[in-house]
Amino acid sequence: MHWKDLDPKRLAAPLAGLRELDRRRFLQGSALGAAGLGLGLPRVGRAAKPTADDLRFVFVFAQGGWDVTRVYAPEFDNGSVDMEAAAEPATLGDITYVDHPDRPSVRAFFEANHHRMALVRGVLVRSIAHDICTMLAMTGTSSGFDPDWPAILAAARGDRHTLPHLVLAGPSFPGELVTSVARTGQSGQLEALLSGDIMEWNDQFVSKVPTPFENAIDRYVQRRVAAREQSTHSPVDQRLAREYAEATRAAAGLKDYRYVMDFSTSTDLGDQAAVAADALRLGLARSVTLGFAGAGGLGWDSHADNDNTQSQLFEALFQGLTSLMAQLDGTPGAGGFAGSLADQTVVVVLSEMARTPQLNATLGKDHWPYTSMMLLGPGLAHGRVIGGYDDVFGGATVDLASGGSGDTLISAEAVGAALLQLADIDPAEWVSGTGPLTAVLS
């Protein structure tokens, strides 16, 4: 066992007498926390090739619609596409991307990670409306009632995690899997709920309950819930009582997590990356969604001044992605997995749409339904580009199984279905109308 795999209750219990701030500082002392408790045991784990059960997922969503020709689609020979001055194609292995002197973080990221990434180009989202495209990119439908890919992936192993899908920022569509999904809140609402500080956020001040009384209340509620679970008779009551009991136990366990990780985050992708790594390594979550809308949350919707706006956003995005991969690389695997967290985590970087191939009268670009996605991590066809664009910048048709020439456009749901298949989830249970893009899998 490794100290980072310990049940949070084992770490929190010996510290019950400490003030909360001191307790948090103590536990955030990394290995020192476990060493001081005598829990720094040798790590014993499985081989570094993850099984479907080992897999973890991080989704990074760029809200607003990015211009794929500024990084992912080097369309320099396509007369229908306005490319940037000073940009040029760069090739690493079989992956070609757009290099630009104003985006050194993009170049550095590709140099460091091309060996573990797959690019999917020409992904159809079937709309040019932000809300609809967001639903299509994340769920494969525009209903608004279907769960998104991270929720499905998380719920499939939901019994092993207190908050199976943790949303730090970006969109979330829980659908019928709502009990598997939680948001931290952009103002630290989840942290405040766990600590009780949210009581003091009311217009009329209400002091939070002192810890001894809070613990007594918790024990009383747990006894009542257990009694209710044992005394029900009808199948419906039994199910409701069981689910209520499970939720109560999960809530009690969740309160302990605040002593071993910090739920507070920001719009900065690096900050979100640190919380995501903690949530995954501790077993709190299986899927984490991060959002990046740029400085001030203005987003990627560059109808004017496209090149300057997109260039700054991509540079900042890839700085954050570099931080995310460093966090995953430097963190031991979760759930007894012997490799690093990066060895068992699939990272999906996407936006809901792309931008038109040509600049408009205000040097901006408008909405376009063919986008690109970047995937990194285990189980993928590393160092490969699947799909592309035709001579008018529409998506190229492919064979979904091989990735070679074919007669099928790559849809967002085909990519989502491939992720489900990677996690040993039957895509047919969640996706209709298309098969998975298995070409993106190894």
The average confidence (pLDDT) of the chain is: 89
The pLDDT of residue 199: 78
Which residues in the chain come in under a pLDDT of 70? 1-47
Are 418 and 311 part of one and the same domain? yes
Q: What pTM was computed for the model?
A: 0.88
The pLDDT of residue 47: 52
Helix and strand numbers, DSSP H then E, in the chain: 12, 14
Rounded to an integer, what distance in angstroms lies between the CA atom of residue 49 and that of residue 224? 44
Rounded to an integer, what distance in angstroms lies between the CA atom of residue 268 and that of residue 422? 29
Q: Which domain holds residue 237?
A: 189-260
Q: Which of 260, 282, 310 is the last residue of a domain?
A: 260
Are 327 and 436 part of one and the same domain? yes
Are 420 and 336 part of one and the same domain? yes
Identify the sign of the CA torsion 289, 294, 297, 300.
negative
Are 169 and 275 part of one and the same domain? yes
Are 364 and 424 part of one and the same domain? yes
Are 388 and 289 part of one and the same domain? yes
Are 357 and 410 part of one and the same domain? yes
Containing 98, the helix (H) or strand (E) segment is strand 95-99
Are 116 and 134 part of one and the same domain? yes
Size (the chain), residues: 442
Of 398, 403, 405, 397, residue with least CA distance to 384: 403
**pLDDT, tens digit, for every residue of 87-133?**
999 999 999 999 999 999 999 999 999 999 999 999 999 999 999 99
Q: Give the number of domains in the chain.
A: 3
Are 293 and 208 part of one and the same domain? no
- Residue 403's CATH number: 3.40.720.10
Are 5 and 143 part of one and the same domain? no
Are 33 and 176 part of one and the same domain? no
DSSP string, 224-277: HHHHHHHH--SHHHHHHHHHHHHHHHHHHHHHHHTTT------S-HHHHHHHHH
Contacts of residue 404, Cβ cutoff 8 Å, sequence gap at least 6: 398
The pLDDT of residue 311: 98
**pLDDT, tens digit, for every residue of 365-397?**
999 999 999 999 999 999 999 999 999 999 999
